[in-house]
A and B are shown apart, each in its own frame.
Chain A
Amino acid sequence: MMTRTMKVLLMIFSASSKGGRGVCPGFFPLILTALLFPVTGLTASLGPDISVPSRDTLILKLSDDAIAASPSPATTEGLSAQALAQQVRVHIERSRATGSPRPLGLAQGLLDQVPEQRWTPEVYLMRATLRQRLHRFDEAEADLSRVLQAEPNNAQAWLTRYSIALVRGDIATASRACNELAEVMASLLAESCTQEVASLGEQPEAAFRRLRQAVDKAPSASAVEHDYALVTLADMASRLNLPSAGDYWQQSLLSDPGDLYRRARYADWLLSNNQPDKALQITQGYEEIDTLAVLRAIALKRLDDPKQQALSEILDERFAEARWRGEFLHEWEYARYLLDVQNDSEGALEMARANWETQRAYPDRELLIRAAQAAGDQQVLQDLGIDNREAQPL
């Protein structure tokens, strides 16, 4: 109502002062100019600048993975459950490889087009993985329960349940899932998860040693299992602050350079071990991946590199758009950015706590501790069972 009255008054003042001369414009026009000054800004158009490129300007490479090979809706007619699961898997794999969440949406779109009556446990398993990627852990769990009810020996489902439980900090569930996995297939894979769970208990060093020995004793295990064990060892070594952690990360990155997770973890390890120049090297060309871009921005800042400004601007825009969208999958990244690039410990703590609501793995815990220390929040540290003096900076 107040605004309305103000508008009425403004209208009337403006009506009674139109054409006022410059020499002595009168009182109302002066007030009016002052009042209208912010209003004139309103005529500015919304949104970023628009340009019209020349006709031969290349504006998109259609060979990009994001567009190529996406199944058209027409092909879902009469799609078998097996083919559906396969296509969803292709999308999830593409998302993992490119770090882009776009294919996850396409996977969801495919699933929506095939009625659930036709789904097999395999399709539910794919949806569980999709939901895991979207941090919808409860929904993913529901799908896994369904799969495991139908196929109690589905090792992939047990492993997925294990991963989710571990990320959520639910050690009991992780341990049960790992035991089930070992029942289904006694292997290096089962040994990896067994020792990983053990490393979260009383004797982490012993667990690390046991897994290392298991790797040495299983030369015939598949490459996949070896790789899994290697990443698990790298994770464990990081948690134990072993100097060999760097070697494990480097080795695991070499064995799969396209994997963004290990690249990010290695870059993070390099940063926390005072090697920002190396972190810069392995994040080069990965600015599109938020996790790697944030770690790169931290490295640039540590090196006082002038390029940090431009990268920070890009990240600011990305996070602003992510906040606008609302479904925030980047809490860890954003918290890290606020803490280590923007020096905003309060904002970082808020984000790290939001991240902690859904994700409770080692990097999530480390970040929360560091943000709480920077913000001087003793309560958070107490809740985590941390004595401020003994906490280790990442």
Chain B
Amino acid sequence: MTRIFFALLLTMLAAGAHAHKASDSFLYWDAANPDAPGRLDIALVDLARVMPLDSNGDGELSWGELDSQQSDVTAYLASQVKLMANEAACPVRWRLAGLTQHSDGNYLAMEFRPSCPGSVTLPAQIQYDLFFDEDPLHRALVMTRVDGNERLTVLSPDQRSLNFADTPSAWETAREFVWEGMVHLWIGYDHMLFLLALVLPAALRRQDGRWVVEDKISVAVKDVALIVTAFTVAHSITLVIATLGVVNLPIAWVETFIALSIVAAAINIVWPFLGQRRYLIGFGFGLIHGFGFASVLSGFMANASSRLVALASFNIGVELAQLAIVVVVVPLIFLLRRQWLYQRVVLPAGVAAIVLTGMFWVWERAPLASI
């Protein structure tokens, strides 16, 4: 406790008791949740100092008075608080959300929704100049949620901007999304099983009720290359259109259909009801698989600095993973194709396993729980 004196003034000033805090605003931003608006709480006392809010001049501010000046308030805030992406300000929609309380009284709660231009998904930085000119002791207390953790920071006249997250460079984004594409294909067994079901007949196929062994590896490789290319082209098309939001399918049905495609492709090995031109099957079902990839990708997109880099990299990752599978599987089945054990046990058992797994997934995923 301190006391101070203006002994030579007419009144003596002895002070030392501290009241509540100085001027603070509260800014909340959930970086991981692009759908949630940001929020800025500003003390009514501070706002009243910079704007003539008391329209009827009765010395009291009512909610109605404030609400009717919403456009002035939002225009002022928009000029003082900016959300930036790639060094350009994003257009922001401000909304008067209501009244809230902090430890020193009433605050106006404002919601803001930035819509950043171009391929960028989210603002990377906030620039805050509110009240600093009038009151250099003003602070913005910022709470951001990054990776589920709440992070507290303070903005001041010396530190007027905050990076919400360290924006990854295009190269970092590319590396990250290539890896995620690969991981997804390998651990998301459904795409892998479907691909396997299409590739297996390249060395040993069922034709006219009997097993036919492929003699030439060049033919087998060409066959596989065609299938993989068709599958890739198809799922790339739908991945792109779904990610860009052109078409959106209900994910439960997409997942169910992917499971069905596995069953169909596996049955087609022993009973080629879809025909021998498996690249067409790969293309047709590949379209659906693309929507599946898109739903996974959208989960990571919030962190991406650029959608296009992320999208392309993710796709490249998926292709690389496919290639790796082909490189391992094709030589293996080509070597084993004449073995009795492979023809009579491994292949039929494998097919049965794939069919059963696919059917189990169909049952599990079909959105018919309420029926």
A residues near B, CB below 8 A?
3-5, 7-9, 11-12, 15-22, 26, 38-39, 42-43, 45-64, 66-67, 70, 73, 89, 92-93, 95-96, 98-102, 104-106, 108-109, 112, 129, 132-135, 155-156, 159-160, 163, 167, 189, 224-225, 227-228, 231, 256, 259-265, 288-292, 314, 317-318, 321-322, 324-327, 329-330, 332-333, 359, 361, 363-364
Contact = CB atoms under 8 A, between A and B. Distances in A.
B141 A324 contact: yes
Given A48-B100, A291-B18, A21 B135 contact: no
22 contacts: A11-B296, A12-B296, A42-B145, A55-B64, A60-B44, A60-B45, A61-B59, A63-B59, A101-B22, A105-B137, A106-B134, A133-B4, A156-B7, A156-B8, A224-B8, A259-B14, A261-B3, A288-B104, A314-B103, A327-B139, A332-B1, A363-B1
B211 interface: no
Interface stretch (B86-94, B181-189, B237-245, B320-328): B181-189
Interface string B75-101: 000000000000000000000011111
Contacts of B145: 42, 46
B136 A112 contact: yes
Given A58-B61, A102-B23, A105-B138, 9 more contacts: A11-B296, A55-B63, A61-B59, A73-B133, A101-B22, A105-B134, A106-B135, A265-B1, A321-B24
A359 B4 CA distance: 13
A20 B255 CA distance: 11
B23 to A, nearest CB: 5
B15 A96 contact: yes
Contacts of B138: 105
Contacts of B187: 8-9, 12
Interface of B: 1-24, 26, 28-30, 32-33, 36, 39, 41, 44-45, 48-49, 53-54, 59-64, 66-67, 97-104, 106, 109, 133-139, 141, 143, 145, 147-148, 150, 152, 154, 176, 180, 183-184, 187-190, 251-252, 255-256, 292, 295-296, 299-300, 361, 363-369
B184 A12 contact: yes
B188 A15 contact: yes
Given A51-B99, A62-B59, A261-B17, A132 B45 contact: no
Contact of A67 (B2, B8, B49): B49
A267 B54 CA distance: 38
| Interface SS majority for chain A | helix
B45 A155 contact: no
Contacts of A11: 184, 296, 299-300
A53 to B, nearest CB: 4
Nearest to A187: B7
B4 A163 contact: yes
A60 B10 contact: no
Given A18-B255, A67-B49, A45 B100 contact: no
Q: Which of B1, B9, B59, B63 has the most CB of A within 10 A?
A: B1
A56 B63 contact: yes
Contacts, number: 297
A291 B48 contact: no
A104 B19 CA distance: 12
Given A108-B137, A109-B135, A363-B1, A42 B98 contact: no
Contacts of A167: 2
Query: For B2, B14, B26, B367, which residue has the most chain A Cβ atoms within 10 angstroms?
Result: B2
A326 B295 CA distance: 42
B103 A108 contact: no
Contacts of A132: 2, 4
Contacts of B106: 59-60
**3 tightest A-B CB contacts, nearest first:** A55-B64, A105-B137, A99-B19
B19 A101 contact: yes
B15 A59 contact: no
Nearest to A95: B15
Contacts of B59: 61-63
B190 A263 contact: no
Nearest to A54: B63
A12 B188 contact: yes
Contacts of A51: 98-100
Nearest to B108: A59
- Specify which of B14, B187, B189, B368 lies most central, judged by the most chain A CB atoms within 10 Å of its CB: B14
A99 B18 contact: yes
A282 B66 CA distance: 36
A260 B109 contact: no
A135 B15 CA distance: 13
A167 B98 CA distance: 44
A64 B61 CA distance: 11
Given A11-B299, A12-B187, A59-B62, A46 B39 contact: yes
A377 to B, nearest CB: 22
A215 to B, nearest CB: 15
A361 B36 CA distance: 50
A12 B8 CA distance: 75
Given A18-B251, A104-B22, A260-B17, A46 B4 contact: no
Contacts of A318: 20-21, 103-104
A107 to B, nearest CB: 9
Contact of B66 (A3, A59, A314): A59
A164 B190 CA distance: 74
B148 A39 contact: yes
Nearest to A25: B364
A132 B1 CA distance: 12
B39 A47 contact: yes
B164 to A, nearest CB: 13
A154 to B, nearest CB: 9
B19 A70 contact: no
B364 to A, nearest CB: 5
A225 B10 CA distance: 10
A290 B18 contact: yes
A263 B136 CA distance: 30
Contacts of B15: 95-96, 99, 133, 259-261
B134 A109 contact: yes
Contacts of A95: 15
Nearest to A42: B148
Contacts of B150: 46
A264 B17 contact: yes
B159 to A, nearest CB: 11
